[in-house]
Structure 1
């Protein structure tokens, strides 16, 4: 009985962590959009966003394992997977940065 309660508490804690990470990812995406519109470089933020998305995928996998979903051991979402259904901003941000770099230094393009 105590083991079952402990598992439920762990699952609730994990769900809270997933929710908080999703909020942080959303805030970072908004910040990156603002930075891009103001023509600031977002390379470091893109790296951070990619890392946060990888952690989010791993937390979702851990959750599946904790729930003992059959076949979840071999499931690993694709790199572009967005559990909240949003578009991954990293490729768009890199394209924007390349465009801005080409405008600054036309010889390098």
Structure 2
């Protein structure tokens, strides 16, 4: 009985975190749209958005695991996944930032 109560508490907490992350993603998308309309660079924000979407996917998978449902990669839209090209971009951005910081 206490195990079920613990799972319910975990689900409630997880649902709150998912809602909060969804709100933050929405806010970031709005901010990026405003930045793009003003012709500002949004590369760093794009990386952050992709990372947040990955975390959201993981939270959904965790939720499914707690519920005892086997989730798969196909349960979520592809936009929530980081492409290999984008994943490779993160180390390249770090190297560029390190080079700029060394000047």
Whether the TM-score (by the shorter chain) exceeds 0.5 is yes
Superposed CA RMSD in Å reads 1.5
Matched, 1:79 2:78: yes
Q: Deviations along 1:21-43, whole A, 9 cap, x unmatched?
A: 00000000000000000000000
Structure 1 20/35 Cα, relative in aligned 2: closer, same or farther at 3 Å? same
Instruction: Count matched residues.
Output: 79
Moved over 3 A (4+): none
Residue equivalent to 2:20: 20
SS in 1 for 2:78: coil
Residue 3 of structure 1 and its aligned partner are, at CA, apart by 1.2
User: Shift of residue 78 of structure 1?
Assistant: 5.2
Question: Greater helix percent: which structure?
Answer: 2
Deviations 1:26-62 (A, max 9, x none): 0000000000000000000000000000000010011
Q: Structure 1: where are the runs of 5+ without partners?
A: 83-109
Measured after TM superposition, the shift of residue 79 of structure 1 is 3.5
SS of 1:39's equivalent in the other structure is coil
Larger radius of gyration: 1
What aligned pairs does 1:33-72 form with structure 2 within 5 A after superposition? Answer: 33-69=33-69, 71-72=70-71
Return 5+ residue gaps in structure 2 as ranges: 82-103
- The TM-score normalised by the length of structure 1 is 0.68
